[in-house]
Chains A and B, each alone.
Chain A
């Protein structure tokens, strides 16, 4: 359905490089390792799944990828640029233009229409209104939501909401999509439909990093990381 961008870098070039990336907390005088020193390279066009039991550090890793938390130690390069130590404005700009996020609970803004929801990242990217709406509609059309632009998230099914969330993640055409258990709130059939969308995005050249509990989704991945007690290892 979609073609890889002609300007996309070669699929083997590293998109993300983690070196000794670590996240610790202190609780009651005890140092807790949410993520132990992790080295990882994610190349352009990869489909990475992150698996592990609850509390193992999957979400911590995803939040570090998404710059929603700062690492305690180590470096995080995104397209060769160290991004973990940036100030708030620069971090926000990276989140806005380089990273698309899809959440388990969709996190759509219920008081906005689905078109407005899709437009939110583009507002922060400073796109003109007309261009923004045009792109928002095209994205919704792409995911089978044409004609539903004025609907509110509460009027849609879970699968439709997740499709809106994916459309929103693609709004600024970021190179990487982070998905935190995107099928966790969906039934099996709808979950498979959503995975089909991710597979299609991967084929179009997007780099997908997905946290999941479901080992069946391993088959979609080109790369897999397993985490136990904060220790990440490629499998």
Chain B
């Protein structure tokens, strides 16, 4: 979630009240978390879908509305610009507007640039989806603009903060922004550019021209927004204009002429949406008559203009800066917020005392195993399934899922057995009083060739002993004790087995009749030494899905 920082003094001045507590409480209701920074600053975490609140002015406006200090107002832009569009291949859309009478100083200019960057990085997907240019309107050479692709070798401009004219190619190659964003919309030797008259004033999404640079004395701001998604371009322009309009200056609009259509920007019309009263009432659990009486005020403080309301429907005008309204349910949420969640009242749900969950044999077995292993002196551990592929390969040749974008070699795979997890735990417990006896019950991931997703989870239990010397009969006895407690010790046999990482002749498969339900053995000294373990270790791993089926068959179905 984006964080907006400003001074408390500026926020209280813009909101128009000095009660900081009240402002913070209002922000809480408007989905914002706040944190006071030192004695003068405030950091406000704003919801990512409310791009109109990415600026201090937008936040202040929302607070003023919620507190009833402001009413939603309609504005009509004065047509002032004309933009001819020859849609660039990789960045076809543009919208522009200007707002006059903006209060700027060193600090608020900095905040304005931060607002722009916030839109670029989140909603703008790092300028890929949308990019914004802010200009000093008074420096604009002409109100006739063109947005088109230019040949980067023969077009010239003075990029922001540069001293001389250079080719667009040079801008892309030599400036910092050029290196960062130059590839995004480059189409062979051609790149999108915005002309005012004959001057390039912006090279979207890379950099603006220096000739229209903003400074603290700027009062009238010209905005261009370009992008790959026309809806996003319009939403962002609307939210910027909305913020700058906070100072109640005049809004200048543009006619955007595409080859196939003409678009007016900014689009400051409130769009009408009809909310079905039945839906709103059922969704929230609030009776319709209560809604009829409370919705007008609730929606007004959320910036809407309610045109009509009755027991059938609410006809409401949605403010133009709310690009996040996709469905009537979004208006319903704003009704709830406008009423206040704490005022909605809560309703307890019915429990079903008559419906007892049936015995789940897997859960039952897990609980039995935990009881028995604890009784045998084993300590339960809780380890990560993410593990190092190097360790997995030490004790098994079975496939395992590899993480494509792992952050470290220690966690670059998902375990396909609990044995490596126990080995790591033993390694880290060597300094503890011996013997160390541990167990874990958890899920591992196995290859599944018939599965749509190639892998499946498998529940396992593993227990092991580390001591200064190991007597195999102890873990062997514990295995039989465990099997006896889950009631399957009768048809068990151990079959000699060669397994990677175990000592030959000291490893066996645990079988119930003909099914393999686990493995038992002593870890090979070579493996122990490789992972840095100096004490012998004996381990059992049981496959619980098979065991569950057996228990189901032996006990629960008979």
Do the two shown chains form a genuine complex with each other?
A: no
Contact residues of B with A, CB < 8 Å? none
Contact residues of A with B, CB < 8 Å? none
